[in-house]
Amino acid sequence: MNLTVNGVTHEVESSLLTPLLDVLREELGITGPKAGCHQGGCGACTVLVDGEPRRSCLLPVAYADGGEITTVEGLGTPEDLSPIQGAFIHHYAAQCGFCTSGMMLAGQGYIGAGGTDDPESIQEALGGHVCRCTGYAKIVEAVAAAARGDSFDLTETAVGKYTKMTTGGAE
Amino acid sequence: MATTSLALNEATEVLRPGSEDEAVEAFGDGTDVLVVGGGTIVVPEMTFRRLRPARALLLRDAGLAGVTRDASRVTIGAATAIEELVAVSAPLGPCAANIADLEIRAAATVGGNLCAGAGHEAPRGDLQGAFLALGATVRSAGEGGIREEPLEDFLPRRRERLALDVSYEEPAAGAFSGLNRPHTHDYTALAVSAARAADGTVRLAATGAGSHGIRLPSAEAAADDPEAAGVAALQDVTPHDDALASAWYRTKVLPVLVRRALTELKEPA
C-alpha cells in the first residue's frame, strides 16, 4: 500500500496490521512521532490523519491507506516555523520535548477543527496527552495563543538565530 | 474482497471485507478470526505479542458505520466511532464522553467496545452498561447465521460473535453517573446508567461491577426510592478487586452512583 506523509507518497511494505507509528519510525525513518507507551496512554505518537489527531500507535497502517498524514516534520521548518511551533517556543511550552510533537499535533487538530482559546476546551482536547515534565499550563497557553493567531517576536529566543520568524500566526 | 498475506508480522492473513455480506462470510463461525474494529484494544495486544491471530478481519470498510433513526428506533452500526455518540442524550452520550479521549474515541468503535473481552487489569466494555439500560438488542453473525437478541443474552457469547449493529428505542429519560477517571486512558472503574422507557419501565445497569456490563434488577424494583435502590443494587453484583479499584471501594460507591443516576432520572439537571 501507499502512505502519504507530509505530502510525500511512500510505498509501504509492512504488514497491514502494523501500527502506523512503527511504519513511520521504523520503515520510513520519520521519527517526529515518539514511541512512548505504545498503547494509547501517553499521546507522544499523535499524528494528523486527514487533519484529525490520531494515536499512531493504535492505528493499523491499513486504516491510514489513502489518508494524508501530517507529522511534526510537516508542520513547519526550522527557518519557517508554523504558528503553533512559534507559540510553543514563545510560551516555553517544551521542556524535555518528548511529548511536544504529539501535543502540537493535537493542538493543531484542535485548532483545525475550529477550537478557540478557551482553556477548558483545550484541556479536554489534549486530555489524553501526558507531559512528564508537568508543563501543562504553558502547553495550554501556547495552544490558546496559536488558536488566537497571536504574533511573536522569536528573534531574542534561543531559536532566534535559526528562524526568520518574527511574527506568528497572524502574519 | 481484497485478501492479503504478508510475511511480516507473524504472517497473519488480513481480511478486508467491503460489505456486510463479505464481513459475515469472512467471519464464518469465528474460529481463529480476530475482529479489528478501530484497533484501539487489539493493536497494542499485537504490539506486545499477547495476540498472534491466524487471521484478522478489518471491519472499517465493511459499511457497518453510521447511526440511523426510524421513528423512535435508533440503530448504531458496529463500526461507528464512539466519538459519534458523545452528542446523543443520556445515558449513552455522557457514557461515551467518559471513554478515553477524543483521539481514541474517534478510532474506537461501538462494536469493539461491546465485544471487548475482560482486560488483564480491569473489565473493558464501557458502553455495555448504557446499552443495557436502554434495553438494546444486538444483531450479530457467527455460528448459526445472523440473529438479533437482547444485549444481556449477547454479552456472555460476545467473543464468539461478529456484532453488526445495536439498536434501542429512544428512552423518555436517561441518566449516567460514573466515577471520575484518574487518567483518560483508564477503563471505567464503575459507572451506572439509567433509562426510563416510554412505557415507564426503569432499567438500571452497571459497568465495572463484573467481567461485563450487568443489569441491576433489585435496584430497578426499588427505583422509586433512589436511596433504597442504591442499597438494593449490592444484591445484584459481586464487586471485585482490580487495578482500578478495590471490591471494598466499589461496594461503597455503587449505592451512591445508583442514587445519583435515579435522582437525575427524576429531576433532570
Q: Is 50 exceeded by the pLDDT of residue B266?
A: yes
How close B120 gets to chain A, by Cα (Å)?
14
Higher pLDDT, A129 or A169: A129
Does the CB of A59 have a partner CB in chain B at under 8 Å?
A: yes
Domain of A27, CATH number, reads 3.10.20.30
Q: What is the percentage of chain B residues whose pLDDT exceeds 70? A: 96
Q: Do A106 and B40 touch (CB under 8 A)?
A: no
- Disruptive mutation site among A27, A48, A58 for chain B (greatest number of B CBs within 10 Å): A58
Which of A16, A19, A52 lies nearest to residue B6, judging by beta carbons? A16
Are A27 and A111 contained in the same domain?
no
Which amino acid would we find at residue B250? R
Cell numbers that stand for B181 in this block: 477517571
Q: Suggest the residue from B43, B55, B59 to mutate for an interface test with chain A (most A CBs closer than 10 A).
A: B43
- For residue B106, the surrounding DSSP H or E stretch is helix B102-107
Domain boundary among A32, A54, A74: A74
**For residue range A80-106, what is the model confidence (pLDDT) as tens digits?**
899 999 999 999 999 999 999 999 999
Q: Name the band, by pLDDT with cuts 50, 70 and 90, for residue B269.
A: low
Nearest to B8 among A14, A41, A58 (CB): A14
Q: What is the DSSP string of B139-201?
A: EEESTTS-EEEEHHHHGGGGGGSEEEEEEEEPPSEEEEEEPPPSSTTSPPSSEEEEEE-TTS-
The neighbour count for residue B116, using CB atoms within 10 Å, is: 23
Count of the separate structural domains present in chain A: 2
Domain co-membership, A99 together with A130: yes
Q: Are residue A18 and residue A56 in the same domain, yes or no?
A: yes
Least confident of A127-141, B79-93, B171-185: B171-185
Q: CATH classification of B67-266, choosing from 3.30.360.10, 3.60.15.10, 2.40.50.140, 3.30.390.50?
A: 3.30.390.50
B8, B43, B103 member nearest A128 (Cβ): B103
Same-domain status, A70 and A83 = no
CATH number of B2-58: 3.30.43
Distance from CA of A47 to the nearest CA of B (A): 10
Question: Please, is B5 exposed, middle or buried when counting C-beta atoms within 10 Å of its C-beta (0-12, 13-18, 19+)?
Answer: exposed
CA nearest B99 in A: which residue?
Answer: A128
Whether the CB of A156 is below 8 Å from some CB of chain B: the reply is: no
A124/B40 touch (CB, cutoff 8 Å), yes or no: no
Test the B interface: residue of A16, A21, A120, A132 with most B CBs within 10 Å: A16
**Residue A165 binned pLDDT confidence (cut-offs 50, 70, 90):** low
Q: Are residues A164 and A109 in the same domain?
A: yes
Torsion of CA A73, A76, A78, A80, to 10 degrees: 160
- Do A82 and A156 fall into the same domain? yes
d(CA B220, CA B262): 10
The residue-averaged pLDDT of B255-261 equals: 98
Asked if A41 lies within 8 A of B185 by C-beta distance, the reply is yes
At which of A58, A74, A90 does a domain end? A74
A87 and A166, same domain (yes or no):
yes
This complex has an ipTM of 0.91
Whether A81 and A69 map to the same domain: the answer is: no
Parent domain of A49: 2-74
Q: Which of A34, A55, A74 is the last residue of a domain?
A: A74
Q: Which residues of B touch A38 (CB under 8 A)?
A: 44, 47-48
Phi, psi values for residue B182, rounded to 5°: -65, -30
Inter-chain residue contact B9 with A15, CB threshold 8 Å: yes
Task: Assess whether A14 and A96 both reside in one domain.
Answer: no
Q: From start to end of chain B, where are the E strands?
A: 2-5, 13-16, 33-36, 55-58, 67-70, 73-77, 137-141, 147-150, 162-169, 173-178, 191-196, 202-207, 214-215
> What is the nearest CA distance from B217 to chain A, expressed in angstroms?
35
Averaged pLDDT for residues A134-152 = 96
Across the interface, whether the CB atoms of A39 and B16 are under 8 A apart is answered no
pLDDT tens digit sequence for B185-237: 888 999 999 999 999 999 999 999 988 999 999 999 999 999 999 999 999 99
Per-residue pLDDT band at A170 (split at 50, 70, 90)? very low
For B103, phi then psi, to 5°, come to: -65, -40
Question: What gap in Å lies between CA A10 and CA A41, rounded to an integer?
Answer: 28
CATH number of the domain within which A154 lies: 1.10.150.120
A62 and B183: CB-CB below 8 Å?
A: no
Distances from the Cα of A84 to the Cα of A7, A88, B4, B155, angstroms:
19, 6, 40, 45
A45 and A83 co-located in one domain: no
Interchain contact, B9 vs A18, CB within 8 Å: yes
Give yes or no for B181 touching A (CB within 8 A): no
* High-pLDDT (> 70) share of chain A, %: 95
Chain A residues closer than 8 Å to B100 by CB: 40, 128
